[in-house]
Amino acid sequence: MNKKSVRDVEVSGKRVFVRVDFNVPLENGKITDDTRIRETLPTIKYLTDRGAKVILASHLGRPKGQVVEDMRLTPAAARLSELLGKPVAKADEAIGDAVKAQIAKLNDGDVLLLENVRFYAGEEKNDPELAKAFAELADLYVNDAFGAAHRAHASTEGIAHHLPAVSGLLMEKELDVLGKALNKPDRPFTAIVGGAKVKDKIAVIEKLIEIADNIIIGGGLSYTFFKAKGHEIGKSLVDNDRLELVQEFERKAKEKGVNFLLPVDVVVGDDFSASANTKIVDVDQIPADWEGFDIGPKTRELFAKTIAESKLIVWNGPMGVFELKPFEDGTKAVAEACAATAGYTIIGGGDSAAAVEKFHLGDKMDHISTGGGASLEFMEGKALPGVVALNDK
Ligand SMILES: Nc1ncnc2c1ncn2[C@@H]1O[C@H](COP(=O)(O)OP(=O)(O)O)[C@@H](O)[C@H]1O
Ligand SMILES: O=C(OP(=O)(O)O)[C@H](O)COP(=O)(O)O
């Protein structure tokens, strides 16, 4: 990488603002998968071992510029403290005099976690005033939030214009591993896209058609494709603004000789809950009032066959609502197929990583990336604003 990292600068005694991605899955205030926190330990330890004062900043969820009590970072501070085996102070805000006073009390080697940066409307707008307010807290900026590197926000991009700015060790590792795998991909190369961030994911498919041999679509994303074909989709997730666009994808894929696989059957439920009534139906038989929550058994077999024959598999986004027992089997089947294939497997995204860990298959994958959207955009060849803003070597 041509960007400076923590290894290239003096950190001892400095106040270091480290942007991490602690956007972890939570259930009733408990962290269900701490991968993203564990993955930042090398950077945090590197800095504390050398006597830096570490000021951590992250977003959690999408609170849209408001304080949302359930989206405070308090559980992340507690988990980090357990993992580091030492106290981690927690601020109730991310900027301002109270935070500055807390920082002034830090000793060399101490760690402080700021409050959710998305509680401030300026974060996602990349407001220069907010970026300056973050920069006032520190002497050095470290970006270790690979999962948010595709966002040009005040704490991922703006701040880098006000302080010396370098990458963390996780950021460096992610770019290195993904770069090596995707520079000259082994073929057949299969991209699997699922999940619930429908708009974001649809945006990357067009480019994937140009680089992958097989594209597998599952999860909440698929229903926009079914609706575009004129099928009833009941109450399933949909992006009504992109019905024409997704039809284009299938046409383009055909033109390029890319195998474009959509689910053929799905598991529908009458409620978003673990006690919902469920049915398995073909994709043109979804009842009105029901909602598609998982891929069906015929689809699992179809997807598994393609995964088995692939040399490189990049998977982002669960195949269904794997958090709920009745809708976990599709994601589990794809995770098992990825675990069994001889191909090189890269799993990306907070929830996809959580799913693989839930099924105890994490150690069977070649790389679990902390970024879903970020790894997809990296794969597209797009510049990641959180990386571009860092100082060149
Ligand atoms: N058919 C579906 N309907 C609603 N939500 C879904 C469906 N399939 C998957 N999901 C949800 O998608 C979420 C993950 O989406 P996303 O954030 O896009 O993935 P990642 O974090 O891996 O990038 C999971 O919480 C899962 O419950
Ligand atoms: O969870 C994240 O992305 P991912 O779901 O693509 O892995 C990152 O924390 C970015 O979050 P965002 O998509 O709300 O900007």
Task: Specify burial of residue 104 (Cβ count, 10 A radius: 0-12, 13-18, 19+).
Answer: exposed
201 marked as part of a ligand binding site:
yes
The mean pLDDT of the chain is 97
- Mean pLDDT throughout 339-351? 95
The whole-number pLDDT of residue 203 equals 86
Tell which residue, 349, 332, 343, has the closest CA to residue 294.
332
Q: What is the DSSP letter of 314?
A: E
321 lines ligand 1 (CB under 6 A): yes
Residues in the chain: 393
Measured CA to CA, the distance from residue 294 to residue 288 in angstroms comes to: 16
Measured CA to CA, the distance from residue 28 to residue 274 in angstroms comes to: 15
Measured CA to CA, the distance from residue 155 to residue 195 in angstroms comes to: 25
pLDDT tens figures, 187-242: 999 999 999 999 888 988 998 999 999 999 999 999 999 999 999 999 999 999 99
* Distance between Cα 113 and ligand 2 center (Å): 19
Tell me whether domains 6-172 and 184-379 share a fold.
yes
Question: In this structure, are strands 26-27 and 30-31 parallel, antiparallel, or unpaired?
Answer: antiparallel
Tell which residue, 45, 64, 68, has the closest CA to residue 56.
45
Cα 223 to Cα 121, 149, 297, distances in angstroms: 32, 28, 17
Cα 380 to Cα 81, 143, 221, 257, 371, distances in angstroms: 36, 21, 18, 19, 14
151 marked as part of a ligand binding site:
yes
Residue 233 CB neighbour total at 10 angstroms? 24
Of 21, 351, 368, which is best to mutate to test ligand 1, by the most ligand atoms within 8 angstroms of its C-beta?
A: 351
Query: What residues have CB less than 8 Å from 169, skipping those under 6 apart?
Result: 5, 6, 42, 43, 46, 144
Q: Which two tokens stand for residue 194?
A: 């699922």
CATH architecture of structural domain 184-379: 3-Layer(aba) Sandwich (3.40)
220 lines ligand 1 (CB under 6 A): yes
Residue 302 CB neighbour total at 10 angstroms? 18
Q: Say yes or no to pLDDT of 163 above 90.
A: yes
Q: Which two tokens stand for residue 211?
A: 């680089």
Q: Say yes or no to pLDDT of 320 above 90.
A: yes
Residue 112 pairs with which residues in a beta bridge?
55, 89
* Distance between Cα 218 and ligand 1 center (Å): 10
pLDDT tens figures, 65-114: 999 999 999 999 999 999 999 999 999 999 999 999 999 999 999 999 99
The whole-number pLDDT of residue 183 equals 85
Among positive and negative, which fits the CA dihedral 76, 80, 86, 91? negative
- Mean pLDDT throughout 317-341? 98
> Which DSSP string do the residues of 105-145 spell out, in sequence order?
TPPTT-EEE---GGGSHHHHHT-HHHHHHHHTT-SEEEE--
Q: What is the DSSP letter of 287?
A: P
Residue 89 pairs with which residues in a beta bridge?
112
Please tell me which residue, 4 or 350, carries the higher pLDDT value.
4
- Mean pLDDT throughout 144-152? 98
Kindly list the protein residues whose Cβ atom lies closer than 6 A to any atom of ligand 2: 21, 23, 62, 147-148, 151, 197, 349-350, 371-373
Given the residues 197, 235, 300, 332, select the one marked as catalytic.
Answer: 197
The whole-number pLDDT of residue 200 equals 87
Query: If you search the block for the tokens 């399933």, which residue do you land on?
Result: 236
168 lines ligand 1 (CB under 6 A): no
Q: What are the DSSP E strand ranges found in the chain?
A: 15-19, 26-27, 30-31, 53-57, 89-90, 111-113, 140-143, 165-167, 189-193, 214-217, 259-261, 265-269, 278-282, 291-295, 312-316, 344-348, 367-369
Domain extents in the chain: 6-172, 184-379
Task: Specify burial of residue 226 (Cβ count, 10 A radius: 0-12, 13-18, 19+).
Answer: buried
Query: What residues have CB less than 8 Å from 366, skipping those under 6 apart?
Result: 344, 345, 346
Task: Report residue 1's pLDDT band, with 50, 70 and 90 as the boundaries.
Answer: confident
Measured CA to CA, the distance from residue 388 to residue 171 in angstroms comes to: 12
Runs of H (alpha helix) within 344-384: 350-358, 373-379
First to last CA, the chain: 9
Contact at 8 Å (CB) between 3 and 392?
Answer: yes
From 3.30.70.100, 3.10.20.30, 3.40.50.970, 3.40.50.1260, which CATH number describes the 6-172 domain? 3.40.50.1260
Measured CA to CA, the distance from residue 322 to residue 271 in angstroms comes to: 15
Which ligand sits closest to the CA of 355? 1
What's the distance, CA 22 to chain centroid? 10
